[in-house]
Structure 1
């Protein structure tokens, strides 16, 4: 059965349609691995609202092209806006987090096809869905600390609830995991074959909730889950420098790899991420985590490390960022704490440099 998709009312970068009892929403920037723009997140939220009253049983959300669902938000555009003093970056975050909330709150179940690259904003548009399907091709990550940012889009709600120390390790390092690990850690529901897409679409179009598709958490083999207990004491506490010290000293191959990755990330971003994650552990709703994301996003995008991290990874691509702090022990905990102070909207923000 073929899909007849048409551009959404807001942008051709989101396509919409219907297959039987199933509404269809497709991110449509395949050359950019469907990186999200403000018009795209607005369109997704609008289409979710429209389809909720269109008589469908579920909404299938996927990405165009062969490379993946979504590589994240268009952080190059956010960086340019921050450097220019333009408020459009703030609007992007506000609209994106509203879209993430809409996915979670959709009265019609959202089925997220999390094949290929699922990173950053791609996690936000999918991890809150009611049915989350990953494949053998899935590469899921919140890699924000490598660009001087923090895992936003409500992802800390899920990462703070991963088994053992796995969520903390993933948040600080930005390490990608495969489909089986995503299911085992609670970041997805079922592991299916990428070649099964059309069959699953047809089943969903006929009203099947796909609850029996693929492998669930009890059936998958996950190296990350196997390491959860060992990682937990290594990443415990609120001191990021101590976490890194423990990872370096541990007699565990995954810990050594994580230590190398955390040490290469923005010290500022790692410190803020750990503080945000610990707060997310105590929160009782996804909305509280998204509200924290709103508080942090603009000051983090205005910090010099964000401009430098995006430059090093995506603009010049030299992979040699010059972070503001030389290491984690140089980050002032009071400066981190100021970001979370009530009524400060991020406290000690910095202009990009």
Structure 2
């Protein structure tokens, strides 16, 4: 691999002892395509073999976003055409998420700006997760008739209390302090210091450890602000401790204050089917023994989504017609029966190979 080698929408380069992967679709908020997934995977394998590389940095080009997730318009078109691209995308993306989680070298994700869906998969599974004052992180899938994936059903249940359940069901975005509180990020560094951060990593010796990388990052970090999720932790834990969406909504209605009211209002705009399935997957993820188990279960649900009308309707309303007025079917949580949820829990065929 040559320094500065450019591969379409991903830029791969080595700066000193740092291998750097730059997502290069800034106008699309660096949303992921299948070729990008394959390029990133190849680069990670190459950097793992390269004895000159001490650490790997994942970042996004432009000032607006690290990565807004998968290119949902492309997934929508693939699902409509039945060409298999969507299924291939999810399989290869989930393998990449698992690779990042088990990566043998220090992996640093610079989550500057919008970090959503697949962007969380590229960052929060890593060993060193950096947020900035511009970070807006979310798993917004229930708002497009989909469910949290990319291993989120492993990550979210391992946050404090029911913070992850709140994130997965509401799909609301959070800032740096909340991301750290939810255990989806580790440190905050000012966006103006990210260039200096990469320079410092590139100067590390070849044999540097994760501890050496952490020392560099700690030295450049700044205190995060107040976490809204932490401030409202008692409300979140009381309302989201239940295993049914109906009970969660009823509990929110009993809570006082604007936070609970806003949460309830938002959930009532989400796909009822997605809410019920997401909660089921999050609870299963809490009981799971490994990320691999969660990714396999998520893949099965994703493949079933290709026959789910809410998936097409949610993407239509969000990115095709952009009317922001999806018509969900069924239209209410109460109308989503247990058998409807069960149909999404079929194992993927063939199973996910990691």
- Do Structure 1 and Structure 2 share a fold, with TM-score over 0.5? yes
Shift of 1:343: 7.4
1:204-245 deviations in Å (ceiling 9; x for gaps)? 1122504424147xx652121121222112112221122112
1:240 and 2:237 correspond: no
1:50 and 2:46 correspond: yes
| Segments ≥4 residues shifted beyond 6 Å | 343-346
User: How many Å separate the matches in 1 of 2:95 and 2:282?
Assistant: 20
User: How many Å separate the matches in 1 of 2:56 and 2:30?
Assistant: 18
Q: Which runs of 5+ in 2 are unaligned?
A: 205-211
User: How many Å separate the matches in 1 of 2:176 and 2:318?
Assistant: 25
Contact 1:200 1:210 in 2 (8 A): no
2:308 maps to which of 295, 303, 317: 303
Contact 1:295 1:345 in 2 (8 A): no
1:153-195 deviations in Å (ceiling 9; x for gaps)? 0012111111122111110010100011101210101011011
User: How many Å separate the matches in 1 of 2:23 and 2:181?
Assistant: 26
Which residue is 1:253 aligned to?
258
* Closer/same/farther in 2, CA of residues 245 and 128 from structure 1, 3 Å limit: same
Once superposed, what is the RMSD of the aligned Cα atoms?
1.8
1:209 and 2:213 correspond: yes
User: SS of 2:305's equivalent?
Assistant: helix
User: SS of 1:245's equivalent?
Assistant: helix
* Closer/same/farther in 2, CA of residues 343 and 200 from structure 1, 3 Å limit: closer
User: How many Å separate the matches in 2 of 1:24 and 1:265?
Assistant: 37
* Closer/same/farther in 2, CA of residues 344 and 63 from structure 1, 3 Å limit: closer
User: How many Å separate the matches in 2 of 1:237 and 1:25?
Assistant: 41
User: How many Å separate the matches in 2 of 1:286 and 1:263?
Assistant: 30
1:263 and 2:265 correspond: no
Shift of 1:4: 5.7
The size of the alignment, in residue pairs, is 339
| Stretch deviating more after TM superposition (109-118 or 242-251) | 242-251
**TM-score of the aligned structures, taking structure 2 as reference length:** 0.92
Which residue is 1:350 aligned to?
none
* Closer/same/farther in 2, CA of residues 306 and 220 from structure 1, 3 Å limit: same
Contact 2:301 2:346 in 1 (8 A): no
User: How many Å separate the matches in 2 of 1:260 and 1:215?
Assistant: 34
User: How many Å separate the matches in 2 of 1:5 and 1:273?
Assistant: 41
Shift of 1:340: 2.1
* Closer/same/farther in 2, CA of residues 163 and 215 from structure 1, 3 Å limit: farther
User: SS of 2:196's equivalent?
Assistant: helix
Q: Which runs of 5+ in 1 are unaligned?
A: 347-353
User: How many Å separate the matches in 1 of 2:228 and 2:152?
Assistant: 21
